[in-house]
Structure 1
Amino acid sequence: MKKNVKIIFNNKLDIENIEKNDIITILKKQAINICNTGSFDCCIIIGQIKKNKYVFLLSTTYMTRAGDLFRYLDKHLLHFEIENFEEGTDRMKVSSWYFTILNEESGKEMNEPLKIDIEKTIDEYVAGATVIDGRTYYQSNADEIRQLPLYNKKSILRCYVNVSDIKKDYGLADEDVITLKTLENESGVALKAGGNDIIMIGSKGEPYNMPKMKFQELYQEVAKGNLAAEVSDEYEYVPNAFINGSEKAVDLLKYAYVCTSKKKNVVYAKKVTDGIYKVFSARIAGTNQYYYGVADERPFYLTVDKDDITSVHIIDADAFAKSYEMVVS
């Protein structure tokens, strides 16, 4: 993405009584046309709707999600007062967009020096991110990884959800999208309703997806109902999902079963306290569903599955401490 960005200021939308979704559609078409015409990886449009400024950011590369980039720009340069926002990804999980409406007095003056600052900040973001491809990471770093301590996932009760139950209850088609906002992907992991995924609920209440085949290898069902409520009493987060971009949350605990480990899941792990990491585990390579960690804001563990070396993950440090214990030799 370096230097391959188009920035447009003062893009006024002369519209009356139009829904936000229609505004997003108009801006998305405009940004896609700009990117296609100029071969840009990213387009940022900053303009005005009535009295309010807005920002629309489109990323056409799977290497960078629009929401992740906007949050970095806002923290390190823009410092906008955000009223609300929406973000999403396309069905191929490659391009993504972010839209926000700002308070009336929010933000810096829109001028040419700011464009230069935005380009410079994007360069810093791209250059400063450590990108890991799970398909090759172990082979390239085998000696270092084998020196890391081993951890085993604790045999504790966990809640999980069959995606098929949500599909049936809501009458979804196979191609409909169920989105999870995870600790490692604030923009949202997009699951197909007809896919082969299980939604796991972590020790802090954070949802994340797991292939059904891997789930069946590692876990076994214990019970449903009151036991799920008992397990969820310790959650810090409310585990929700969203269907086809709707703002209305689906309560995952309504569909929760309880499971426990039936096989040891051993990982190499190291704690990361500095830098930005993007991890493409083997099964999500080529999509923008990477695991994302900003370690100076929230430390995490980088893990490599001992039995499946292409399974590389980022796990929130607090969640890791609750779920894993060091292997004592």
Structure 2
Amino acid sequence: MPPSDFVVSERVSAVRATVVHHQGGPEQLTFGEWATPAPGPGEVLIDVAAAGVNFHDIDQRIGLFPRDLPYVPGLECSGTVAAVGAGVTGVAVGDLVASLVFGPTGSYAEQVVVSVDSVVPVIDGVSAEQAAAVLLQGLSAHYLTGSCYPVSPGETVLVHAAAGGLGRLLTQVARLRGARVIGTVSTAEKEEVARAAGAHEVIRYTEVDFAAAARELTGGKGVDVIYDGVGHDTIDGDLAALRSRGTIVLYGQTSGPITSIDMRAGKPGSPRLVMPMIPDYIATREELMGRADDLFAWVRDGAITVHIGQKYPLAEASVAHADLEKRASTGKLLLIP
């Protein structure tokens, strides 16, 4: 095996990847070749085994979070270290790792170069697919329930989209922290999924007013905290479902951006709104490693279950995006090069 400071040649190679050349619908995801450079100092080249699909990828594709075109999307992956740049420590060629991907080339590719500061070793007992499926959403569930609003035993948590990939993990982690979890879902099938994830109560928001139902389930008090990745369609109901001095953690806006909040609609007083971004809660390698250590240990020990809803060939990333946008899946979606 090459030493840990092994460096491949400076030759730029072409790999197969899914590329966005124009902003728009899923059809803008095209499969072709993309140049992958050798890793420079402090960088790692990964042979991608699996890449996670996230709503943020869709938001970038449609232009909600614009970036320079063309680009390869994807924020997370797992795979084997193929080469490392000078000065890299902590990982070596041949290691199974998972990584956040914030560079110009995302994870929808056969290979990707990332900063070693974004890479974490995958422990024994956790597979490559599990690692890719849990990394970004699992880290998010960790800081959302541990830092944005530190959930305490006995508190009541409301999780929107509790049958989705992050919703399932939020439900499980909030239960680990001792909370009572109320989930919202759209269908009877998704209610079963949310209950299987550990939700104590489930509200079908397509059939009842979720805010009124949440207040009824809390004896009129309201919930302590709401984890909301939906945004536009739920924010007014969040205010009505919240207890006095409760907290809304708004971590996504899948139903569209919130352009205004009518505070008069809120029944409780003095609500607190937190709008977290992952770089602020994984600001250092030490913070990343600490959260990842907890996360992978939970997976290995069976404390949380990673549900992979669907796996797609890398060339079918457009199908994966369409399915995610239509809410046609539950659990995590993966692309397999």
State TM-score, norm by structure 2: 0.29
- Whichever structure has more strand as a proportion of its residues is 1
